[in-house]
Amino acid sequence: MVIKQMKCRKIKKLLPLYIDNALTFGEKQIVEEHLKECPTCRAQLKSLSSMVKIIESLPEISPPPDFTEKVISKISQIKS
C-alpha cells in the first residue's frame, strides 16, 4: 500500500504535464499504465481536465496599462 501511495504521489505531480502533453514518451507511458490501474489518479486527472476546460473557456482580458511597472516595482521592493 505504501508503494502504491508513493507512486500515486509521483503520478499526481505529473498529471498537469500529462494534460499539457509535456511529458517524455516514457513518462507518458508510465502515467497511462498507472491510470489503467488507479481509480484515484483517474479521478484526479478528470478533475484537472475539467478545471483546464473551464479556465480555457474564460474570456481573455487585458491587464491595466501600468501593470508591468507595478509588478516590477513590487519585486524591486521585495529584493531590497
User: How many domains does the structure of the chain reveal?
Assistant: 1
**Dihedral sign computed on CA atoms, order 42, 43, 44, 48:** positive
- Identify whether the C-beta of residue 16 lies closer than 8 Å to the C-beta of residue 27: no
Q: Give the rounded distance of the alpha carbon of 51 from its chain centre.
A: 10
**pLDDT for res 79:** 72
C-alpha cell at position 41: 489518479
- What CATH number has the domain bearing residue 16? 1.10.10
pLDDT of residue 78: 87
What tens-digit pLDDT sequence spans the chain (80 residues)?
Answer: 656 667 999 999 999 999 999 999 999 999 999 999 999 999 999 999 999 999 999 999 999 999 999 999 999 998 76
**Domain containing 74: what range?**
2-79
